[in-house]
Each structure stands twice: as C-alpha cells, then as structure tokens.
Amino acid sequence: MRENVHYWGFFSFQPMAIIGGLQAFVESGLHSEYPVVLLESALHTLRSTCYLDADALKAAYSRPDLDPFQTAVCVLSEHLKVFLNLFQRLHEIQEHAGAICRLIHRHLPSEIHHFEVAAVASLFTPDVHHSLEPFLYAYMLLELNAAESDTPDYNCFFESIVTSKLSTQLPSDLAEQCRHIFSLGPSEFSLHFLLEDLVKPFIESAFLHKTEELILNEYTSSFIGPLRDYLAHVVEKSWLKRINHIKTQSNPLTPQLAYTTYYCVRRQELFRVMMDYPESRPAVMDLKAYLMETHALQDLIDALGKEVRIRLLHPGVHTDEILMGYGCLVRGLREIDPSSVAQDIICQPVASCLRVRDDAVHCIVDRLITPPGHQNVVGDNEEDNQVTGLQKELLLPTPLEVEPTDEVRDGDAHLVAHESPQPLQ
C-alpha cells in the first residue's frame, strides 16, 4: 500500500479575494436597492472564476465503449493525474461558489434558493455534466473499495484482481480527500447533485463485473447468499452512506438485484452447468432460487433449449454423449423446476433425436447391462457418477417420456421395443 499523500491542499484557496468586489457592493448598501445587480454580478463572478471546459474534459478522457465500472477502473489506472487535477478544480469551484452563496444568504436570504439553482445551471451545463461522468464513476469506485475494506466479513469479492491492483496503486485515503466535495453540510455548496443520477448505473455495472469475476466457471459453490449479504451490508449500509445517498432518494438496489445479476452471468453457462450435474448442484440450486424469486422460467427454457440444440443435437455428437447429456438434463431440471415444465420442453428434442438414431437402442442397453466403472478408465469418478445417474434414469418406467402420452404418438418407452436386443450368451 502506498503512503497517504495529499495531492492538494483543501484549505489553500482564498475565496475572499474572489468576492472582494461583491463584498464592497454589499457594504455600500446598494444591494438593498439593487438586488438584481448583486445577483447578476455574483453569477458573472462564478462564471469567470469557476469555468469548466467540457471540450477539454472530453479530450482528457473519452471512451464511450466502456460501461461505468470499466470507465472507473480505466480512469484510476490510466488517467489518475487528470482525475486528481479535476477534483482539485472541483474543490476550488465548491469553495468559491460556497463563499458567494454565503454572502447572498446573509444579505438577500429570500433569493438564495434561486441563486443556487442559477449557479448550478450556469456552471454545470448538460455537456459539462456528461463530460464529468467518467471521473465521478471513478470516485464512486474509490468509495466502493473503501466500503469493502470496512466490511470484510461480507465482502465476497475480497479476492478480486481488479480491486487488489487498484489498492496497491492508490493512497488509502484518496476517497476521503475527494468526499469533502460532496458534503451535504448546511454551510456547504455541495456538488452532490452531480452523483445522484449515476449511483444506480454504477453499482449495477460494478456488481455485474465483480460477480462475473467471482462465479464464472465455478459451479461447485453457492453464491446467492454471499451476493445478497454484499448488497445488504457493503453497498447499502456502507457505500451509500459514504456517497451521501440519502434515504429520501430512490433506492438503487432493487430487491432482486442479487438474483438477476447472478442469472445474467450464469445464463451463458447454463449448458455447462447442466452437463456437470450433480457436481454442479450448488449452481443448480442457485438457479432454482433465482426462479423462485423472479418467476422467469421461460427465459431459462429459451436459453438452455437453444444451447442444447446447438451443442448436443447435431450429427457430430455421438449417441452415447447425447444419452449422457439427456440424463444430466433430466436430473438437473428436476431440481430447478419440480413442475417438470422445463424438463418436458427442453428434453423433448433430445428424445426426438434419439428416436431416429439407429444405435440408440444398443447404447441404452449397454448402459443398462454394463456395471458402472467398467465403461471408462479407472479413476474417472465423474464419468462413473454420470453413468450411475443415467442408469437410474433409464430404469424409470418411461425414461425418455417427456411429452404427454396419447394413442396416436408412440411413447419413448417403445424406443427399445423397436429392436429387441439378442439374449446374452
């Protein structure tokens, strides 16, 4: 960890020098007779001393291809000097604007609200505000890292490579130095309004990227619980307070954020999760929890069904592999959806594929009569478990029956009857 370094002196500015002319006007008593003159002069002083160049900000950083979290990481990793200079400038603006607002409040208290609105509109035009967004996201990432450090018991992302890298590059008190700018104190001209519309997109982006880093390709652990704890304790109880996101504002944390983010990451891995069952049972149970919370079964059916058709049901896949995949799908989908709706819809094309495969009967019989452990290399426990599970599925009364049986359509139980195996010698 680098030593704490103060990159700017927060109290080195002289705002009284900026408002000297305004103070003289007030002392003359003319402000009572000509209040509009005082207000216009104050706004002119703000514009001339607190100007922000949107074009210069865009030139310093412009990466529209990155989302909020990626933007924040890029700013802190590659544009730290620009970030520090900008926040020094924002502090100057806060100091100067605060001094003028206090002057107006003392001598024209009835006009202070209108003046503050006019000051914000003059200094932070939509173009300027948009140009500031990357650097504001960077500040929110600093506060999120600090919140994680303060609540280690609930930080499931403690092994994050991105967080560790930033922690070694940045002074530990940098977030505290920046936080003063967004203070909500009664005597401050707070710049907190700059953050308000960015809180929700930032935390959703950060949570998604951190979840991807944590759970991708990891199916043997459950993550829904730790993700919920992270949002409840690290984000809601620590991070939101750090950025002064008061309760009267809209809550950026939707009740289902942990579930929807988890599924957003897992959606691209549904096929692999199912093929690894039962080793992937923790991931399967997390998917079940997601469905119970969101009732979004149709999307899972569509996504997994598409992957099954693309990756399992084509001529290049051996019938034996299709049978193994079928067994994993049936058992996994029964865990996820006890109603069997997903199983019926997703497994139906698999059953149809097996009906037209000439060697399907022989593969099924081989699975039934060959003891587990004799079909593969010794020590391949995962394959043994799959074979055992498949045999259990095949020994059901109608193992491939995934559609309602009627008198017109043959059930899958007749698949074996089409070609009876020869008696064993």
Q: Which residue has better confidence, 34 or 379?
A: 34
- Which of 72 and 59 is assigned the larger pLDDT? 72
Cα of first residue to Cα of last residue in the chain, in angstroms, is 74
Q: Is 326 helix (H, G, I), strand (E, B) or coil?
A: helix
Q: Check: CB of residue 116 under 8 Å from CB of residue 100.
A: no
Q: With a cut of 90, say whether residue 239 has pLDDT above it.
A: yes
- The candidate with the shortest Cα–Cα distance to 391, out of 421, 368, 363, 412, is 368
The dihedral through the CA atoms of 260, 261, 264, 266 has a sign that is negative
The DSSP output letter for 42 is H
The closest alpha carbon to 263, from 247, 240, 284, belongs to: 284
Tell me which amino acid residue 212 is: E
What span, in angstroms and rounded, lies between the C-alpha atoms of 40 and 415?
Answer: 89
Give, in degrees to the nearest 5, the angle at Cα 303 between 302 and 309.
85
Closest residue by Cα to residue 104 from 52, 46, 51: 46
Q: Is the pLDDT of residue 78 over 80?
A: yes
Across all residues in the chain, what is the average pLDDT? 82
Q: How far is CA 248 from CA 8, 252, 379, in A?
A: 33, 12, 60
What is the pTM for the complete model shown?
0.82
pLDDT-above-90 percentage for the chain: 49
Of 117-126, 166-175, 302-311, which gets the smallest average pLDDT? Answer: 166-175
Higher pLDDT, 377 or 287: 287
| Alpha helices, H only, 124-256 | 126-150, 161-169, 174-179, 199-215, 224-229, 240-242
Q: Helices 381-394 and 360-369: crossing angle, nearest 10°?
A: 110
Q: Where are the domains of the chain?
A: 15-244+253-259, 270-372+382-394
pLDDT of residue 187: 60
Q: Compute the distance between CA of residue 225 and CA of residue 243 in angstroms, rounded to an integer.
A: 25
Residue 372: Cβ-neighbour burial (10 angstroms; 0-12, 13-18, 19+): middle
What is residue 409's predicted lDDT score, i.e. its pLDDT? 40
Under the banding of pLDDT at 50, 70 and 90, the label for residue 213 is very high
Closest CA to 372 of 361, 358, 386: 386
Sequence-distant (6+) residues with CB within 8 A of 117 are none
* pLDDT band with cut points at 50, 70 and 90 for residue 123: very high
DSSP codes of every residue in 199-217:
HHHHHHHHHHHHHHHHHTT
pLDDT, one tens digit per residue, over 264-309 is 999 999 999 999 999 999 999 999 999 999 999 999 999 999 999 9
Structure tokens at 323: 């049978």
